[in-house]
Amino acid sequence: MRKDRTGISQDDDRSPPADLRGAESSNKTRNCCGVGSVSGSTGPISMEFQAPCPDQVLENVLENVLQFLSSRRDRNAASLVCKSWWRVEALTRSDLYIGNCYSVSPRRAMSRFSRVQSVSIKGRPRFADFNLMPIDWGAHFTPWVTAMASAYPWLEKVYLKRMSVTDDDLALLAESFPSFKELVIVCCDGFSTSGLAIVASDCRQLKVLDLIESEVTDDDVDWIACFPESGATCLESLIFDCVECSINFDALESLVVRSPSLKKLRLNCNVSIGQLCRLIVRAPQLTHLGTGSYSSPDDAVPGEHASDLQSALSACKSLVCLSGFKEMLPDYLPAIYPVCANLTSLNFSYANIHSDQIISVIFHCHNLQVLWVLDSIRDEGLQAVASTCKDLRELRVFPLDARGDNEGPVSDVGLQAISEGCRKLRSILYFCQHMTNAAVIAMSRNCPDLEVFRLCIIALHSPDHVTGKPMDEGFGAIVMNCKKLTRLAVSGLLTDRAFGYIGKYGKLLRTLSVAFAGDSDMGLKYVLEGCPRLQKLEIRDSPFGDAALHSGLHHYYNMRFLWMSSCRLSPKGCQEIVRALPRLVVEVIKHDVAVCPDDTVDILYMYRSLEGPRDDAPKVVTILQ
């Protein structure tokens, strides 16, 4: 791929257009046009000025104003005012966000937005994280990076999520953008340590290399050693906790020493406690630290490095975010106590430790705003969080055992404690086996500023475990009392009444996830007819059929996507959507061709697109036309 690519003209200085850096003098020269005449050496000089047309003045003013508009939604709104605003907004946009890589072609996007310095692209829908989508479904980065190589030579930042990225893609990216600074790859696959080595060696101004929950193939390339060896690096963030292969620790330590601006460092499981100590001593300026395994298998005596680790962490006065702990040794847990008072974010979602150990840490974390934990924290641990972390804004409780055949360590008791003690809560993800309406209603009343509420009741079709009634009133209270709610995930035993509440009160709802819930087609109809701002709708294993699907015909063009898997859809019902909405892309996906009969729909994925059906669909995907 690198050899086939044609070079950019030498006349291209590869710097951003002047309009992206500011329009100090250029606007002045194009705002006025002078025509002068000289009638003699001693005669008067007359100068006639031609006033600029009103549209040009407006565009010049807009260009200077819109450069300070950073919100995507505000920019989108501005572009809809009129043709002139549409044109100027495109000229001043430096950040390009593509929420679905198939919603628009690279050619169209780059034709409109010609002065972009930062690109964010999302590919597969979120349910792909749960193995509900074929591995080879698509979302390839190749056409995007190929187009960007010629369209955006001054590109500095790329953010990718759920995309298929190859080593050739990374090689093309590294050689095409000499000012490239930030690469963030989240939940992606297809590349290896060879591709990382090219990025490390060729991107000499790299500030951010974040690899988050991605699958990276180990092909025995020492990619850490490929960073430039001479002089200080520009590196500010290095995250590679998802890279499972062993690393060259000497090269990593040398890199940390050469990176005085390094603020974020998240290590993989191959970094021991002793090595972690050495890195922390070398980089006391860290603000975010991922500890890796947080164990030391070579210790002659358990915990022999504990005092060294505590001393090293004590010197990190700026540390505010702590994560990792994938192979936790409890002997080392007290070593983090000195930094707990400053922490605003703590991620224990990989730490399989019991509630007493977590509580011993929590009691030191009075300033915590973000907490991710396993349900091994138990209700007692959540009560400790409620009494200690009064400034908590985000809580995520993940299941250690996702099977629905046990009692479960967290319940309505823990949820109600959080709602009573953490009144500033804005976002919650809560996995549990059972729940009560009373606890959810208390959450809605005590935390009215909630924007995200995701309750995942693992026991399928589980009612209120005290009253035996459906969970309708609990979720109804959430949408009624939480006026800022934009994201909701529902589960448990729900009737049409719950979806009626959502349709009536969820006017700001943008994302709705439904799993193993619902009563009839009327439930989905209430949602589609009552939630005008709904953008993303994810449904799995629910009793919604063709009638429910057809009730949203008026709204699908305004949505980013609709996902329905293991519901009650028929091929005929899906085909009718295509006839009614020809500009909507309707994909019918067979997760397992051998199991799925032709008269059923395993997965339906619908999304809006300016380009029509894609041309890279695998055999398991049928695009209806």
pLDDT (tens digit, 9 = 90+) per residue, 150-193?
999 999 999 999 999 999 999 999 999 999 999 999 999 999 99
pLDDT for 431: 97
* Nearest CA-CA partner of 223 in 257, 269, 261, 192: 192
Distance CA 71, CA 50 (A): 37
Angle 107-110-116 from CA coordinates, rounded to 5°? 155
pLDDT for 38: 35
| Contact call for residues 463 and 493 (beta carbons, < 8 A) | yes
Bridge partner list, 563: 538, 605
- CA dihedral 385→387→388→394, nearest 10 degrees, is 50
Bridge partner list, 148: none
- For residue 257 the two structure tokens come to 């020493």
* Nearest CA-CA partner of 184 in 247, 127, 121, 130: 121
| Contact call for residues 438 and 406 (beta carbons, < 8 A) | no
* Nearest CA-CA partner of 309 in 336, 330, 284: 336
Start-to-end Cα distance in the chain? 33
- For residue 600 the two structure tokens come to 């059923």
Angle 89-91-95 from CA coordinates, rounded to 5°? 80
**β-strand pairing of 487-490 with 452-457:** parallel
Distance CA 84, CA 468 (A): 60
DSSP-based three-state secondary structure for 239 = strand
Phi and psi (nearest 5°) for 89? -60, -40
Q: Which helix (H) or strand (E) holds 209?
A: strand 208-212
Q: Which residues of the chain have pLDDT under 50?
A: 1-47, 300
Distance CA 63, CA 68 (A): 9
DSSP-based three-state secondary structure for 379 = helix
| Contact call for residues 359 and 389 (beta carbons, < 8 A) | no
Distance CA 406, CA 401 (A): 9
pLDDT for 4: 40
pLDDT for 329: 83
DSSP-based three-state secondary structure for 555 = coil
Bridge partner list, 140: 164
DSSP-based three-state secondary structure for 91 = helix
Distance CA 331, CA 271 (A): 17
Residues whose CB is less than 8 angstroms from the CB of residue 152 and which lie 6 or more positions away in sequence, other chains included: 110, 116, 117, 119, 177
pLDDT digits (tens, 9 = 90+) for 488-499: 999 999 999 999
Phi and psi (nearest 5°) for 321? -135, 130
pLDDT for 352: 85
| Contact call for residues 598 and 551 (beta carbons, < 8 A) | no
Distance CA 489, CA 426 (A): 15
**β-strand pairing of 45-50 with 33-38:** antiparallel
**β-strand pairing of 95-98 with 45-50:** unpaired
pLDDT for 42: 42
Phi and psi (nearest 5°) for 463? -85, 180
| Contact call for residues 547 and 571 (beta carbons, < 8 A) | no
Bridge partner list, 265: 238, 289
* Nearest CA-CA partner of 97 in 76, 77, 72: 72
| HSE (side-chain half, CA atoms, 13 Å) at 426 | 8
pLDDT digits (tens, 9 = 90+) for 516-533: 999 999 999 999 999 999
pLDDT for 81: 86
| Contact call for residues 338 and 310 (beta carbons, < 8 A) | yes
- For residue 597 the two structure tokens come to 């009969």
- For residue 622 the two structure tokens come to 């049928």
pTM comes to 0.88
Please give the full DSSP string across 74-109, using - where no structure is assigned.
HHHHHHTS-HHHHHHHHHH--EEEESSTTSS-HHHH
* Nearest CA-CA partner of 380 in 370, 388, 392: 388
pLDDT for 573: 95
- For residue 138 the two structure tokens come to 């698509």
